[in-house]
Amino acid sequence: MTELIDHLALGFSVVLSFENVMLCLVGCLVGTMIGVLPGIGPLATIAILLPITYNAEPIGSLIMLAGIYYGSQYGGSTTAILVNMPGESSSVVTTLDGHAMAREGRAGKALGIAAIGSFIAGTFATLVVAAIAVPLADLALSFTAGNYFAVMVLGLSLAIVLAGGSLLKAFCMLLIGVTMALVGADPITAIPRLTFGTNVLYDGFGIAIVAMGLFGIAEILRNLENPEQRPFAGDVVGGLLPDRNDMRESAGSIGRGSILGAVVGIIPGNGATLSSFASYVLEKRISRHPERFGKGAIQGVAGPESANNAAAQTTFVPLLTLGLPSTATMALVGGAMTLHGVVPGPQVIDLHPDLFWGVVTSMWIGNLMLVIINLPLIGIWVRFLKVPYRLLFPMIVLLCCIGIYSVNSRPADVMQVAMFGILGYALFKLKFEPAPLLLGLVLGGMLEDNLRRGLILSRGDVWLFVSEPRTLALLALTVVVVGSALVPTLSRRRQFLVED
C-alpha cells in the first residue's frame, strides 16, 4: 500500500505541472467535443492529432491523447440523451433510457447522473490500473521472445474475432496490415524490403498516416453521405443535479457498472461498448421493475455510463504493461509512444516511471475536470451540435493535411493520407472492417521482431515456440479463441446446406 501511495504521489507531482494540466484540459475538451459530434470518434481524432504531438513532450502528449479517449465517452452520452444519436458506440445503450428521460423533461438529471457515475467509475478504474499494473509488468518482464511471439499471435487472433462481420474479411485485412509492417528497411540488416525502388517507403508506412487516412478522411467521406437529421428533445436543459431519490436508485447501478467496466476493459476488444451493453442487461435483469427500462429508468443511464467510462481507463492496462494494444485506438496511442522513443510494454514502468504514473493519475484529474467543466458547458455543446457537417468537415480535412505535412515536410505523406482515405472509404462500401489492418500494422513489426530474435537465440530451432509452457498455453488459447469464432460460422453453414 505504501508503495502504491508513493507511485501515485509521483504521478500527481508530474501531472500537476501547469503544462500537463492544460494539456489534460485540452484533451478532455476535445474528447468531449468529438464525442458530442456523431460520426467522428476518438480513433479518427487521435489519428488526426498524432502528428501534432510529434514535437511535444512524451508525457504531455500521452496525457492529452488519453484525455481525448475517455473524454469522448462523456461527450457520447450528451448526444445519446438529447438527440437520440449516440456520439460513441459505447453510448448506444444510453439512448434507450436517456432519451426517454429527456422526452419526459428530465434531460438534466440524465446528463447529471451520467457525469457523476462516470466520475465515480473513472476514480475506481484509476485505482484498479494503479494496483494491477506493477504485478502485470513484473510478470511480463520474465517473458522470453517466444512468449512475446505467442502474445502477438494471440493479439492478432483477437483482432480477427472481435472485428465483427466476416471472419474471412477480417483475416484479409489483418494479413494486409502485417504485410505493410514488413515494408521498409529490415530492422536487423537495414536492407530495403518491398519499397519498389522508392525512397518514400524506406521508413515503411507511418502509423499516423495510415490511421489518419483509414479512419479520419474515410470517416469524413462516410458522414458526408448522411442527411443531417438531429431531432432534439429540447434546447433548454435544466436541473442537472439528481435529487436524493435519484442518487439512491442509481448508487447500486454505478457500483456494479464500475466493477464490470473495470474488468471488461482489461480484456482485449471494444471493452467500453461491451461493458455498457453488459451493464444494461445486468441492471434490467436484477431490477424489481424491468418494465421501466426503455421508458426512462435512471438505472439504464447510470449503469452503462459508469461501465463504459471505467472500461475506457482500464483499456490502457494491456498496452502499458504487456505492449499489447487491445483496440485500434490503443494501437494509435502505442504508436504515439513509439514516435517519442517509448516502447509500450513492461519496461515503461521501470524506464519511464514519470510517464507511466503521470498518465495514470491524469485519468483521475481528467475525470474531475470533465465533471466540473462539462455540466456548465451543456448549453455550448447543444449549440455545437447544430453546426452543419458540410462546414465542419472541410476544416478537419485541412487540419489533417497541415498536421501530417508538419511532421516531415513531405508532400508524399499528404498524398499517402489521401490514398488511404480513399481506401478506407472503399473498404466501408465493401463492408470490410479496417481496424484489423491497423492492428496488423502495429503488431506485425513486433511479431516479426520477436520471431527473429527467438530463432537467432535458438539457432533456428523452431521447437523454442512450443517447448515453453507459457508459450504453449498462449498458443493453445489462440486456437481456442479462433475455434470459438469458427464453430458458430461452420454450424450455420452446415445447417444451411442441410436445409438446402
- pLDDT of 297: 85
- pLDDT of 93: 77
Q: For each successive 10 residues of the chain (500 residues), what is the average pLDDT?
A: 82 90 90 73 74 79 87 77 67 78 82 87 89 83 81 81 76 91 82 83 80 78 66 54 81 90 76 76 84 84 88 85 78 81 84 89 89 75 68 74 72 88 90 84 83 82 79 87 74 52
**Residue 85 region, left (φ>0) first, then alpha (ψ -120 to 50), else beta?**
beta
If you compute the radius of gyration of the chain from its CA atoms, what whole number of angstroms results? 23
- Scanning 346-434, the segments in alpha helix (DSSP H) are 347-351, 353-374, 378-384, 389-408, 411-429
- pLDDT of 498: 46
- pLDDT of 22: 92
- pLDDT of 426: 93
- CA–CA distance, 110 with 77 (Å, rounded to integer): 9
- CA–CA distance, 411 with 402 (Å, rounded to integer): 10
- Scanning 226-270, the segments in alpha helix (DSSP H) are 244-266
Instruction: Provide the 3-class DSSP secondary structure of residue 192.
Output: strand
Residue pLDDT, tens place only, 7-20? 888 889 999 999 99
* Entry pTM: 0.71
- pLDDT of 124: 92
- pLDDT of 497: 44
